[in-house]
Structure 1
Amino acid sequence: MTQDIKLKHQNIARITGVIYLGIIACGIFSEAVVRSGLINHSNGAQTYNNILEHQSLFRLGIVSDILVLFGDIIVSILLYYLLKPISKILALIAASFRLIVVAISGANIFNMLSVLLLVSGTRYLNSFSKEQLESAMLFLFKNHSYGYDVALAFFGIHCLLLGMLIMKSKLIPKMFGIAFIITAICYFLFSFGRFIFPHFANSLYPSILLPPLVTELSLALWLLIKGINTPNIKSIT
């Protein structure tokens, strides 16, 4: 393995870390800042007025969601490139599940775009009362949350496979492999729990999503700062 190839892998690892950090930042902004700040799931009137008064912020949240999708596509490919020497099949399946998440999340964004239509003041909406528009808006947000839950189930599979790959490799500390397996369990519990035991799962939010956030943030920082263990690249290729 030449020094140039090792440097190439190191650069790819650091690029992956930078993009992963961008994904996390955009995700936190759109979910924790925009939607959590504007949506009151028990008060349609307040939510409608919040979106009406803060349309620019809401639109920025949608843009952030789209940037997350762009980043996830790139990270899927880069992680596959870095981990395929461990197991090409597992790396390919892991990348495929992350890309499925992109597809589901992309379709889910249309719920948010439909919310903008409800506050657009377009003439064909005059046949609906304000109360009906408020109810429709809450329905769209609920539908969005269901789409998010489905996407998390697929992302849980990605994290499980990623954890297995890291555990088998010597490129990244094995603690990340264990952490990603735990992350997968958290995503499964939250996603399937919201469908089977919604009240119980909701009581765990957002604490159950804290370990995944710490795990993904830690991996992104590790890849950016430390990169991968290049002396071990030769042993797995």
Structure 2
Amino acid sequence: MALLSGLSLIAMALAAGFAYGHVYGGLIDSGSPEGTYRNLQSSALLFRYGIGAWGAIVLLDLLVAGSLHGFLREVHPRLSSLTALIRVVYAFVLLAAVAHLVEALALMETAAPPAEVLRALQRFETVWSQGLILFGFHLLGLGYLTLRARFVPSFFGGLLLVAGTCYTGIHLGRTVFPSHAESISMMETVASVPMALSEIGFAFWLLYRGVGRRFSQPVASLS
């Protein structure tokens, strides 16, 4: 379960870097509907690949929810189940958000006005941001479980609790106080370091744990 969780989390980080960092960040200009429209027209295939990467992220989220539940179930069965369920719900919220990316592509292909295409993209951002509130609660549950688990370094539990608080607080703030979006974005920039360290660091530790356990198993006798 640790090996599966670690590999899935690392694959998810790579897919997110491509889908959001490279494709979405490179093509979408929220201040320029016309510029965004031109970018989508000239890079429609790349945008489709980005949508495919988002779909892979949804599937990986479901896989991580199950594998982390299996890894931490013995610590607290009910909380582990609840933590996994929250991530499953988040994955379906993310899927609903990705549907707006498909909508934006369809609008662009039917020559809809650029402003209408940009509104569909903004709906993606809004729904995803609301889903990340849930994701923060998932990390809070995961942080508490790792703190209680004697087989996980408590350092990761603390980082996950900080990251969960940041995710939930930042995206709840965006939902409740939309007029303070610029200040909230600055807070997110500062908080992005512990948020990234918690997930990526925990992923590599899970990979190390899983590989170590795999190679430490005794070899069965052939006699």
Q: Point out where structure 1 has 5 or more consecutive residues left out of the alignment.
A: 1-11, 231-237
CA distance in 2, matches of 1:140, 1:205: 23
Q: Is the 8 A contact 2:15 2:54 kept in 1?
A: yes
CA shift at 1:202, angstroms? Answer: 2.1
Out of 151, 155, 176, which is 1:171 matched to?
151
CA shift for structure 1 position 182: 0.2
Give the aligned partner of residue 3 of structure 2: 14
Q: Deviations over 1:19-49 (max 9, x none)?
A: 1100111111111111110011010000000
Matched, 1:41 2:30: yes
Give RMSD over aligned pairs: 1.6
Residue 201 of structure 1 aligns with which residue? 184
In the alignment of these two chains, the number of paired residues is: 210
What is the match of residue 149 of structure 1?
129
Aligned counterpart, 1:139: 119
Structure 2 unaligned regions, length at least 5: 214-223
Choose from 149, 169, 182 the match for 1:189: 169
Q: What is the TM-score when the length of structure 2 is the normalising length?
A: 0.89
Are 2:74 and 1:57 equivalent residues in the alignment?
Answer: no
Runs of 4 or more off by more than 4 Å in structure 1?
Answer: none
3-state SS of 2:210 partner = coil
* 1:207 positional shift: 3.3
2:139 aligned with 1:159 = yes
Partner of 1:220: 203
Answer whether contact 1:172 1:228 (CA < 8 A) is retained: no
Q: Distance in 2 between matches of 1:120 and 1:97?
A: 35
Deviation at 1:120, TM superposition (A): 1.2
State the Cα deviation string for residues 45-93 of structure 1 (Å, max 9, x = none). Answer: 0000001100111111111101011111111001111111111110011
Q: Which moved more, 1:16-25 or 1:192-201?
A: 192-201
Assess if the C-alpha contact under 8 Å between 2:9 and 2:60 holds in 1. yes
TM score, norm. by length of structure 1: 0.84
